[in-house]
Amino acid sequence: MTDAIQEKVQEGVRTAVSAALDKKAFDLDVLAVGALTSIADYFILCSAGNERQAASIAGNVEERLRLENGTKPLLVEGATPGHWVLLDYGDFIFHIFTEETRRFYGLERLWGDAPNVTAEFAETAHRFARGDEDAAAPRNARKTS
| pLDDT 10s digits, 113-137 | 999 999 888 765 544 444 444 444 4
Determine the pLDDT at residue 2: 82
Would residue 144 count as lying in a domain?
no
By DSSP bridging, strand 26-32 and strand 92-98 are unpaired
Would residue 141 count as lying in a domain?
no
pTM above 0.85, yes or no: no
Point out which residues pair with 86 in neighbouring strands.
77, 95
Would residue 139 count as lying in a domain?
no
| Max CA separation in the chain (angstroms) | 39
Would residue 29 count as lying in a domain?
yes
Would residue 137 count as lying in a domain?
no
Would residue 99 count as lying in a domain?
yes
Determine the pLDDT at residue 5: 87
Measured CA distances, 61 to 6, 32, 36, 40, 110 (Å): 20, 19, 25, 17, 24
Q: What is the arithmetic mean of pLDDT over 104-120?
A: 91
Contact (Cβ atoms closer than 8 angstroms) between residue 121 and residue 14: yes
Would residue 39 count as lying in a domain?
yes
Would residue 49 count as lying in a domain?
yes
Planar angle of CA 10, 16, 19, nearest 5 degrees: 140
* CATH of residue 28: 3.30.460.10
Query: Containing domain of residue 112, as a range?
Result: 3-130
| Higher pLDDT among residues 112 and 66, named by residue | 66
Give how many domains the chain has, as a whole number: 1
What would the pLDDT profile of 25-81 be if each residue is shown by its tens digit?
999 999 999 999 999 999 999 999 999 999 999 999 999 999 999 999 999 999 778
Determine the pLDDT at residue 145: 44
